[in-house]
Amino acid sequence: MSVSWEPQSVSGKARRGRLSTPHGSVETPAFMPVGTRATVRSLDSGDLEGLGAQMMLANTYHLMLRPGAELIDGQGGLHRFAAWDRPMLTDSGGYQVFSLAPAVTEEGVAFKSTYDGDTVFLSPEDAVAVQEFLGADIAMQLDVLVGLPAERAQVEAAMERTLRWGERALAATTRTDQALFGIVQGGVDHELRSRSAAATAELGFAGFGIGGLSVGEGPADRNRAIAATVAELPADKVRYVMGLGDTEGVLQAVAGGCDLFDCVWPTRLARHGKVFTAHGDYSIKRAEFAGDDRPLEEGCDCVTCARYSRAYLRHLKSTGELSAQRLLSIHNLRYTMRLMESVRRAIEADRFEQFLTERTAGRLA
């Protein structure tokens, strides 16, 4: 198998492991920056390497439309195209299609392109074929996503269709150097989550995405859904919570036994002036920072904190300078990478619960 996960140590239910791929290994738990169009907005591949990013996520929906999966294949695949030689994962496009209110049938989904308005059809087999052209180390099956809250019957129908699409996706797979992950659905219903996870595990995917969350549910419901899912997944394969990136959410998911995360949150909020720190988040746009010569976060080792003051960064943001987006994004992503490094050390030392308590208290102080 092209991708495998090996456990290294545990602390409670939290797991420290190593995800092996054709383009190198990833120490887990890990966070993947989101490179929607094969780039993280305002950053390049060299920036991501310097920030300690081990793996990047790219967006199948956008890349299949612009510039096109076959063009990327002709350029040597996504790794060469983006000048990123570390592990990479592509999503199936399911989330973006969901946001466009598509027409969903058993065959697949039909939706309007956000680029030119043309009607595009995507089947589970098409999603596999597109991702095989892109050539990332890990591909995701096409799933059916339901916004929450929703009627149980709607959630169950989407979950059952996702299972059928998972079987079709596996049957369509041809590349031996790319792993296909299944996706567990079921909303926040404990019984549906358990049933979906058990059935998805039986299909024999190389790893598992926990989908259908961060779409309107609260933290308590999300954590219960994750717990019901993890209980039915094999212990020797990676568990990826899709679209989760806030500090508290990631830490709770790690405590529940999850390994891999992605979210646009660190960079999207940076573009709006939000700064992540271990002691809570704040907006650099606040007037009190106009003359503040401190770094964004004391003790942070990112290049932004090493060179620039809050006063200067507030000035850049207030005047609309593009460099503000870049410098704040660098800090927020480095904060996230440092968080995951600390998580891994805490699990190795078998003190993750203590770390979770201390970190949560520090951000609430």
At 105-152, the pLDDT tens digits run 999 999 888 899 999 999 999 999 999 999 999 999 999 988 889 999
In the chain, how many domains are there?
A: 2
Q: What share of the chain is helix, strand, coil (3-state, %, to 5)?
A: 45, 20, 40
- Order of strands, edge to edge, in the sheet holding 24-28? 4-11, 14-21, 24-28
**pTM for this one?**
0.96
Contact 189, 155 (CB under 8 A): yes
Same domain, 166 and 24: yes
Tell me how far apart the alpha carbons of residues 33 and 10 are, in angstroms, rounded to a whole number: 25
| Residue 177 shares a structural domain with residue 46 | yes
Q: Which of 47, 91, 189, 259 is catalytic?
A: 91
Three-class SS of residue 304?
helix
For residue 348, tell me if it sits in a domain: yes
The predicted-structure confidence for 160-203, as pLDDT tens digits, reads as follows 999 999 999 999 999 999 999 999 999 999 999 999 999 999 99
CATH of residue 107:
3.20.20.105
Our answer to whether residue 91 is catalytic in this structure is yes
Say whether both 175 and 270 belong to one domain.
Answer: no
User: Of 137, 169, 185, which residue is a domain's last?
Assistant: 185
* Residue numbers of the domain that contains 145: 4-185
Same domain? For 74 and 179 the reply is yes
233 in a structural domain: no
Amino acid at 83: A
- pLDDT interval class at 365 (50, 70, 90): low
Amino acid (one-letter) located at 110: A
Please measure the distance between the N-terminal and C-terminal CA atoms of the chain and give it in whole angstroms: 46
Give the domain-ending residue among 119, 151, 185: 185
Q: SS3 for 10?
A: strand
Does residue 242 carry a pLDDT above 90?
yes
Q: Is residue 166 in some structural domain?
A: yes
| Contact call for residues 210 and 226 (beta carbons, < 8 A) | yes
Active site residue 293: no
